[in-house]
Amino acid sequence: MLDTAKVTAKGLRRWEAGHPWIYRSDVSERPDAEAGAVLVRDSRNRPAGWALWSPRSEISLRLLDPDPNAVIDGEWWHERIAAAAARRVGLETVTNAHRVVHGEADGCPSLVCDKYDRWAVVQLMSAGLEAFRAEIVAAVVSVTRVDGILARNDVPLRSKEGLPRETVILHGDVPREIEIDEYELRYLAAPWTGQKTGAFLDQRENRRLAGEHARGRALDAFSYHGSFALHLARNAESVVALDASEQALARAAQNAELNGLTNIEFVEANAFDYLRAREREGEEFDTIVLDPPAFAKTRASLPGALRGYKEINLRAMRLLSTGGMLYTASCSFHLTKPLFMEMLEAAASDSGRRMAIREIRGQPVDHPEVLTIPETGYIKGALLEALD
């Protein structure tokens, strides 16, 4: 049959274990079809469900529906996206920006959809998914009632799928800046040019937590647009918002102004150098946030990344006043939860401080981490207190 894929027993076992991907090496008969939805059969030719088919990718098949009688059409996508949106009901009371679809975790493999006020930003990250662009756009508009949809399809992953990298409007229009409300703080998202889809929505609850515990002299060491710094500034006396990027800090300053916060100082520096210098000067902070970029972008870079994470954490621990709080995070997928904890233990041990775990943190409700799909989880966080 033309639009069917046949997969090995090993390939199918992944599906049965709750993971939606089947790799190229586990496809025993490749569909003679363009990218799109295909019916998948097991080694004995029994139908096993529908999947997105990506002819050029190493991830050949992404499970959509285990029901062989399912029809993957506009209505199907509408149902999936509506179910994902329904899971987030309640978030509107705390923010006007949240993730509506978190890819595989929401049964919509390789699709990300973030809602910023009256607009949506999507990422279509596989060739199979791209074939349903029109259906997805229609479903997003109908479910979220947004005025415009921007595709931030500029991610490197698209190249592996043989897809062009581009930032394009798919529906209506989307402004360059959108004002976000988050626990009564305001900041500007930059959907066209900002990191990810325009802001880091995934740390929302952790920003709030860090803000609640903030006091005295505070430091936000990888501040980007200052979103942690804003939360800290509500309870701390003064905040240093530090970033290596002048542009990011300019936006952070704009965000502080938007909230009438005048106790934030913006410092352009390398966080490694800054932390080392403050330690040398014998300075202290009562609150520190470390939310660095992913140091481990690949598995191979993990050892070097671990040294980096350990160094900033160790220095931050040394800089804390007695009773001081550190919120520390990693968004490297390759740095697993056990490795993250091991790194913190090693840093605490070398710091000479008695560090207590106050909270172990992860992802918010709109970025569900599914146990059987490790790729849906990447944020690890810990709130630590220096006991003496």
Catalytically active residues, by annotation:
331
Nearest approach, Cβ of residue 292 and ligand SAH (Å):
6
Residue closer to ligand SAH by CB (options 143, 201) is 201
CA dihedral 246, 248, 249, 255 (to 10 degrees): 150
What is the β-pairing status of strands 59-65 and 47-53? Answer: antiparallel
Contact partners, residue 292, CB within 8 Å, separation at least 6: 221, 222, 271, 308, 309, 312, 329, 330
Residue closer to ligand SAH by CB (options 56, 307) is 307
Residue closer to ligand SAH by CB (options 164, 293) is 293
DSSP 343-368: HHHHHHHHHT--EEEEEEE---TTS-
DSSP assignment letter at 162: T
Contact partners, residue 9, CB within 8 Å, separation at least 6: 42, 43
Residue closer to ligand SAH by CB (options 243, 385) is 243
Nearest Cα to Cα of residue 339 among 318, 319, 313, 317: 313
Nearest approach, Cβ of residue 335 and ligand SAH (Å):
15
Tokens encoding 18: 């709750």
Nearest approach, Cβ of residue 257 and ligand SAH (Å):
17
For 353, phi then psi, to 5°, come to: -100, 155
Nearest approach, Cβ of residue 91 and ligand SAH (Å):
17
Q: Which residues bind ligand SAH (CB under 6 A)?
A: 200, 203, 222, 224-225, 227-228, 243-245, 248, 270-272, 291-293
